[in-house]
Structure formats: structure tokens, C-alpha cells
Amino acid sequence: MKLYGALASPYVARVLLFAKLKGVEVPLESPPGGSPASEDYRDFTPIGKIPSLDVGGICIPESETICEYIEDEFDEKSGLPADNIGRAQSRTVSRITDIYLSPISSLLARQVRPEKRDQAVVDEQAAALTRIWGYYDHFMGDGPFAVGDEPTLGDCALGTHMCMFKVLAFDTFDEVADPTQQGGRLQTWWEAMQGHDICKPFLDEYIPAFEKMMVYFRGK
Ligand SMILES: N[C@@H](CCC(=O)N[C@@H](CS)C(=O)NCC(=O)O)C(=O)O
């Protein structure tokens, strides 16, 4: 089993953090052909995105599906809460991240250079982010993590995305406030992530990997 991708991707990082929490070793490799755009990689996954998981030549695409596969395949330590409501809440945090939060990162990435910035897009996305932070407030379970007192699937998705937003958005646009500094549920959650012996060192390693991507966005 090997994971194709690069740590700078929050989707790749999510899978690596999830595997780490479960105590599963998942080797990370560059995609066949050296890039997601290569013909070799497109033969393996026509979706052409990272990550994908290679299980004896079978391709499992999509970070969320890969995490669920790892959960099913290695069941010694669960990466989901014990009860069904908690499992649904953890998955909801992951889904909110993929469906509502993630698209905003692509829109803001195109606004990083001040001389090319469309202020209306930044303002609109800043307002959308405020609404989305409210979704987490509403749907997270009892804390301090997304659900309960251990990190699970949802924390992996939101944790890596939050790090990306810290660099891409909160440090870049004055209009976009950091919800982990505003005293609410997301602050409590972030403090728990920062106090966790696996999440903290992992996220500390992920941030500089994503910062290298910012060099690309700043030059765009
Ligand atoms: N829904 C996918 C998203 C993966 C994704 O967007 N990956 C980006 C890197 S962050 C990618 O592979 N981009 C390459 C491309 O679009 O050519 C997942 O959850 O795995």
C-alpha cells in the first residue's frame, strides 16, 4: 500500500494524519510519472488529483474515501468516535470541509497578489467563511475535539485545512479573521489540536510544506 501525493496538499496531509492517529504506516510517494498531470498517473487515476492510494495496483481515489478504507482495513484503533451520532458528527465536519470550506481556498489563492486582487471576491469569500465557521459551531459534537476528547476523521480534514487557511487567508487578507483566535468553539478545538501529541507535531510539519506552495501563488 502506498499513497501518491505531496505533503503540501491538505488532502494528502489529512490522510497521513488520519493514518498516524490510527498507528498505520502509509508510505508517501510521488505520483507515477512525477506529477498528477503525467500520463502514467492519469492511467492510474483519470481524476488526476492527489492523493490516491495504491493497494496492490488498485486505485482508491479521494482523501475521504482513502481515510474510510484505512479505517475499515485497520480496525485495531478506530479513527472515528464510538457511537453512531458521534461518527456522523465527525464525518459531517469532514464533509463541511470538503464541500463548503475547500472551494474558498481556490478562490482566495487567485487573489493573493495585491496588484491582481479583485476586492469584491475577497469580501464575498470573507463573508462566506464567517458563515462556514458557524456550520462547524453548529455541527461539531461536544469538545474539545470535533467530537469528544480524541481527534478523529473530522479533525484531520479540518486541522489540515485550517493550517492552510492560516497561511493562505488569515496571514494574507486583513478582511479574513482567524476563527481560532476569537474565543469560540473553533478556538477551543484549535487549542486541543495544538495540545495533542500527534496532531501538533504533524501540523507543525505540514505548515512549512504548504508555505512552499504560497511562493507559487504569490508568483501567479
Ligand atoms: N476531492 C479531492 C481533492 C484533491 C485535490 O484537489 N488535490 C489537488 C492538490 S491539493 C490536486 O491534485 N491538484 C492537481 C490538479 O488539479 O491538477 C480529495 O479529497 O482527494
- Which residues are near ligand 1 (CB < 6 Å)? 9, 11, 36-37, 48-51, 62-64
CA of 166 relative to ligand 1 center, distance in Å: 19
Kindly report, residue by residue over 3-24, the tens digit of the pLDDT: 999 999 999 999 999 999 999 9
- Mean pLDDT to the nearest integer, 47-68: 98
Q: If DSSP codes are grouped into helix, strand and coil, which group holds residue 158? A: helix
- Show the domains of the chain with their CATH numbers: 2-73 (3.40.30.10), 84-219 (1.20.1050.10)
Residue nearest to atom 9 of ligand 1 (CA): 9
- 129-164 pLDDT, tens digit each: 999 999 999 999 999 999 999 999 999 999 999 999
Q: How far is CA 80 from CA 71, 93, 117, 124, 140, in A?
A: 8, 12, 40, 34, 13
Peptide bond into 51 cis (omega under 30): yes
In this structure, which residue's CA is closest to atom 2 in ligand 1? 62
Bridge partners (DSSP) listed for residue 54: 2, 59
Give the pLDDT confidence of 163-207 residue by residue, as tens digits.
Answer: 999 999 999 999 999 999 999 999 999 999 999 999 999 999 999
Distance CA 54, CA 65 (A): 13
DSSP state of 195: T
Which residue out of 9, 38, 164 has the highest number of ligand 1 atoms within 8 Å of its CB and is therefore the one to mutate? 9
**Residue 163 confidence (pLDDT):** 97
List the residue whose alpha carbon is closest to atom 13 of ligand 1: 49
CB of 156 closer than 8 Å to CB of 21 = yes
Distance 50 CA to ligand 1 centre (A): 5
CA of 206 to the centre of ligand 1 (A): 16
pLDDT in the model for residue 220: 63
Instruction: Report CA(44)–ligand 1 centroid distance (Å).
Output: 15
What percent of the chain clears pLDDT 90, i.e. is strictly above it? 93
